[in-house]
Amino acid sequence: MMNRSAFVSSILVFVLSFVLYVQGAAISVQGMDAGEFMTVAAKGGRLHPSGYPLAVYLMQFLNELPYENPAWKSSLFSAIFGALALAVQSIVINRLTKSTVLSISLPLILACSPLWLRYCTVAEVFASAAF
């Protein structure tokens, strides 16, 4: 069972990292397969194999939000799953170390690392795979 400090620290990590990723979410096509993900999420169709059906369905669901930019709405998918992955990491660190300080600081250090930040702000499946 999760103790209160683990729960609070994971929520704090999720909220802080999610706000960071939403602020930096891509508003246009970035590199890699982001353009393909954005197009399929906004217009429908199929991706290259393996197709990532769950990711596409969730991106299409997010594209129903009342905001005009489909690229930003598709990038929101990575922001949600990147923040969730950090929240899970916070819970695991708290269970292993029993330290609230470490369970907040270590995931936030990862949240700000350049590669993690890149993958959590573009429409890709890397953040969801980390979750």
Q: What is the pLDDT of residues 69-121, one digit of tens each?
A: 888 888 898 899 999 999 999 999 999 999 999 999 999 999 999 999 988 99
**Structure confidence at residue 66 (pLDDT):** 87
State residue 1's pLDDT score: 65
- Residue of 106, 96, 108, 102 whose CA lies nearest to 14: 108
pLDDT at position 52 is 80
pTM here? 0.88
Segments in 31-113 forming alpha helices (H):
34-43, 53-62, 70-97, 100-111
